[in-house]
Amino acid sequence: MIKIELQRNSAGMISALHVSGHSGTAEKGSDIVCAGISVLAQTAIVGLSEHLHREIDYSIDPSGDLRVRLIGNPDDLTQAIFETVRLGFTGVAESSPGAVRIKEIMA
């Protein structure tokens, strides 16, 4: 199962995400669910760092572990990226029940 954790601050804004695991719905290297979640998470990295030029801390491990943390306070633009990615995660989770679990935590 792919586990996604979205971290929200006291104002309800997403400031970090963590993706771990694999869906197990197909053979490694041909799993469209894993690929979709991975592309969405990596899009957050590119959007925050390359488009918005925000400072982030991130790591991508081939084992299926990806972490992104915004350095500094979230704002409306960073939320646009994080919330769009969240909607994408939710869409994949709805189309593949049991393969993806999304959890939101307050920091």
Write out pLDDT tens, residues 54-63.
999 999 998 8
Cα 82 from chain centroid (whole Å)? 8
Would you place residue 64 in the very low, low, confident or very high pLDDT band (cuts 50, 70, 90)?
confident
> 48 near 69, Cβ under 8 Å?
no
Global pTM? 0.92
**Model confidence band, residue 2 (pLDDT cutoffs 50, 70, 90):** very high
pLDDT tens-digit profile of 19-41?
999 887 666 667 899 999 999 99
Q: What is the pLDDT of residue 25?
A: 63
Kindly provide the residue ranges of all beta strands, DSSP E only, lying in 1-107, ordered along the sequence. 2-8, 14-20, 56-61, 65-70, 100-106
All domains in the chain, ordered by first residue: 2-106 (3.30.70.1490)
Q: Which of 14, 3, 2 is nearest to 105 (CA)?
A: 14
DSSP letter at 30 equals -
